[in-house]
Amino acid sequence: MAALYITEDDVRSLMDMEKSILITHKVFKELAAGRAKNEPRQRVKAPGIMLHTMSAASEYLGYVGWKAYTTTKDAAQFHVAIYDQQTGEMQALIEGDFLGQLRTGAASGVATEYMARPDSKVVGLFGTGLQARTQLQAICLTRKIEFVSVYSRNFENCSRFAEEMTELCDVEVTASHSPDETAAEKDIVICATSSKAPLFDGRVLDEGTHLNVIGSNHRTRREIDRTTIKRADVIVCDDIEQCKIEAGDFMQPVDEGITDWRLMHNLCEIVAERETGRATDDQVTLFKSVGLAVEDVAMGVKVYELALEEGLGVDLPF
């Protein structure tokens, strides 16, 4: 049987955030049980381009796979491939841009379920890009959100994003002029930017705030300051080993002794209830996501199965 090529349009027609959260929750359960393995991202650079590769094995699904993407100053191209665990044959090659947006949002949705206060209603969001969009969608599916304040450097873009997300998420979203006001008096704060410097002063955070910090997966980028890290009573990573390689938010603070990798927990430990994501309502909790191939592979398997059911995709000549 030929491998199936599945386009971005196909993925958009087959997957949504609700499905993605269920898939991603299962991923972290299986990671905790040892029935899934993740290989951290590797990067190679040539003039004008960088290639990023990452891989995973999902024993519980019967597949292994990889995600590879290129970034240039103009664009990024994403692909996910899955292989049958028994035969080694490629089953699908999937365009992976929207898939990546969904899985990153879904991971924050899972973390929010275990770490944010159940009564969380007010959100501060940094960023107005595609990742910010799916982050907010996931949180609105996980908690009964009533109000969102969003900040970006371009107020016109921010206002347009707020209007669009008000309709998409059926919640009041307004554009903010101030980073510190966006983070202050919020139940949940989301950082989904490409910033190289902290976005706000950690002193403005309320007790009980939960943060989802997902924008940086490079050692030179930081969205949160030392104060935020100092104030965090619980720090959870999607994968500590991968964060050691590329979580710029933590690298310098760890070197300075502000925090320690040994004090952090993997999300799979929280989902498996080996550790607690939140012990009291007044704790500040922090989830750091850099994005895992094991999420991409699980999402890819589901897309492949749905594509077969719906008759979508094009057979490849191998």
**CATH label of the domain that carries residue 188:** 3.40.50.720
**CATH label of the domain that carries residue 61:** 3.30.1780.10
Q: Structural domain tally of the chain?
A: 2
Instruction: Domain of residue 167: give its range.
Output: 114-291
The residues of the chain scoring below 70 in pLDDT are none
pLDDT at residue 53 in the model: 98
Strand partners, 314: 5
pLDDT at residue 20 in the model: 98
Phi, psi of 286 (to 5 degrees): -135, 125
**Burial of 259: CB neighbours in 10 Å, binned 0-12, 13-18, 19+:** middle
83 alpha carbon, distance to own chain's centre: 24
pLDDT at residue 220 in the model: 82
**Burial of 65: CB neighbours in 10 Å, binned 0-12, 13-18, 19+:** buried
- Virtual CA dihedral for 217, 221, 227, 228, nearest 10 degrees? -30
pLDDT tens digits, one per residue of 236-287 = 999 999 999 999 999 989 999 999 999 999 999 999 999 999 999 999 999 9
For residues 133 and 197, state if they share a domain. yes
For residues 96 and 17, state if they share a domain. yes
pTM of the complete model beyond 0.85:
yes
- The residue to which tokens 């919020």 are assigned: 186
The answer to whether 178 touches 252, Cβ cutoff 8 Å, is: no
For residues 273 and 308, state if they share a domain. no
For residues 166 and 154, give the distance between their C-alpha atoms in angstroms, rounded to a whole number. Answer: 18
For residues 190 and 154, give the distance between their C-alpha atoms in angstroms, rounded to a whole number. Answer: 18
For residues 71 and 213, state if they share a domain. no
**Residue 107 domain-assigned (yes or no):** no
**Burial of 134: CB neighbours in 10 Å, binned 0-12, 13-18, 19+:** buried
End-to-end, the C-alpha distance of the chain in Å comes to 8
pLDDT at residue 218 in the model: 81
Radius of gyration of the chain (CA): 19
pLDDT at residue 216 in the model: 84
What SS3 class is residue 125?
A: strand
